[in-house]
Amino acid sequence: MTFMMGDMVYWTPFATPLGTAYAASTSKGLCRLSVPEDSREHFFFWLQRHFSQEQIKPHPEPNIEIIRQIDAYWRGERTRFEIRLDLRGTEFQVAVWESILRIPYGHTTTYRELAETVGLPKGYQAVGAAIGQNPTLVVVPCHRVLGSDGALTGYAAGGDTKQWLLQHEGAMLL
């Protein structure tokens, strides 16, 4: 556990077409975004691993713009997010997540191709592990990463949600 003292995190529940989700932000940006298949307990477990209990507060204001942009995404009015991020992970995880941010809306890539992008051509399993720790699902669109055969594998929120998101985006599957 690595707590950054004085760094408050503000969380907010909000409605999506798939059910209730949660957003959490620091002064640096969005640090955690759940999808409805991600339980409330899992959301708070993540927060408690990264922040002390005194730092975690319910407050909608820091998340209003994030929720507005996500709502526009659900309505099909937004294909890119303009949200500041406070990505909390290892250097390798952050590099993978930043590479995922460059996958265009409506397109997909594979774990192998992403591994090559981050300079670890045979590291597709390590890339998969990093993707599995993505704290900001949908905004860091790891649902756009597929198995080498085009299979909808490895999405933390489940295959049905991954398929729904790709269909929502009209993704060109491999």
CATH number of 9-74: 3.30.160
Domain positions in the chain are: 9-74, 91-169
Does 31 participate in catalysis according to the annotation? no
Q: State both tokens at 92.
A: 């390798």
Of 117, 23, 37, residue with least CA distance to 73: 23
* Catalytic residue chosen out of the listed positions 35, 142, 165, 171: 142
Q: Is the pLDDT of residue 1 over 60?
A: no
Q: Is-contact 73 19, C-beta < 8 A?
A: no
Quick: pLDDT tens for 25-52: 999 999 999 988 778 899 999 999 999 9
Tell me how far apart the alpha carbons of residues 46 and 57 are, in angstroms, rounded to a whole number.
Answer: 14
* pTM of the shown model: 0.91
Beta partners for 11?
24, 58
Q: Is the pLDDT of residue 65 over 60?
A: yes
Q: Is-contact 83 123, C-beta < 8 A?
A: no
Q: In which order are the strands placed within the sheet that holds 19-25?
A: 30-33, 19-25, 9-16, 56-58
Which segments within 9-84 are labelled E, that is strand?
Answer: 9-16, 19-25, 30-33, 56-58
Quick: pLDDT tens for 124-150: 999 999 999 999 999 999 999 999 888
Q: Which fold has domain 91-169?
A: Arc Repressor Mutant, subunit A (1.10.10)
